[in-house]
Amino acid sequence: MKRLKSLLVLLFFCTLGLISHAQESSLPEGFTTGNTVWIVRTGVSLNFVTGDGVDDMKTDWAAQKSYGEFKNTYGGNAFVGFYSPLGSSPVYFGLNAGVGMRSYKTSVKWKENISNLTTQETQLTAFNVQISPLNVGYIVKLNKSIALDFHVGLFFTCDFTGSFKTEEDYSDNTSKRNTIDIDDTDNYNKYDTGVLGGIGLWYNHWNVDIIYQRGLSSIYSGGKDIYSNKIILSLGYAF
């Protein structure tokens, strides 16, 4: 939650900065003429997981008298896409494609006996190609230079590389490390599909956008569901 607040604060100050500099520039012509507007974006993401599998794992940790938690991770992404407005209407359809990542981290501590404490951390990090074949949005113009952009859509991803790392540290100052490729991880599902929604601010041809993306396909198959989620903060430019 603290990280989400930080992203929102950053978006707020970016918004103030764009508004304070909006003087003579104008929005892309395509927003009013119906011509296609091409956009490139890059940004950072806050990644986390939800689902029955997460809840069950927390319950198991508590039953075993272990202290465990799921931790958020950070990632990056880059996309290219287009908006196709319906003539002079504020409604548009769009498509995006690019590369991104999904990840999560766990940390568990337990005692083998009174003096021996074991700490185990695991982290999944996977990089993927992502396509959002259908995005629907609505542009609200505040003046000739500034507009709000509300949008929802669908997405599909396929992981092309990644790993699952395990690190264990013991009280006697020894440790154990293990890394498994996602291709060798049991019941790992490389594919994900889901929904997204966001709001952005346009100043001239520049855009600051924040998106919530919810995966609907479990990261692992054959057990309780664990879903990938992310909040993306990105900076874009329209041609």
DSSP string, 108-126: EEEESSSS-EEEEEEEEEE
The DSSP bridge pattern shows strands 91-111 and 227-238 to be unpaired
Write down the pTM of the prediction: 0.84
Backbone angles phi, psi at 184, to 5 degrees: -105, 5
| Nearest-angstrom CA–CA distance, 171 and 174 | 7
Listed range (141-145, 168-172, 205-209) with the worst mean pLDDT: 168-172
> b/e string for 31-60 if b means 16 or more Cβ within 10 A?
bbeeeebebbbebbbbbbbbbebbeebeee
**Residue 236 tokens, joined:** 């874009």
Question: According to the model, what pLDDT value does residue 19 have?
Answer: 47
Residue 182 is classified by DSSP as G
Residue with the larger pLDDT of the pair 162 and 7: 162
* Cβ atoms 235, 220 nearer than 8 A: no
What the chain holds in terms of domains, given with CATH numbers, is 2-19+30-238 (2.40.160)
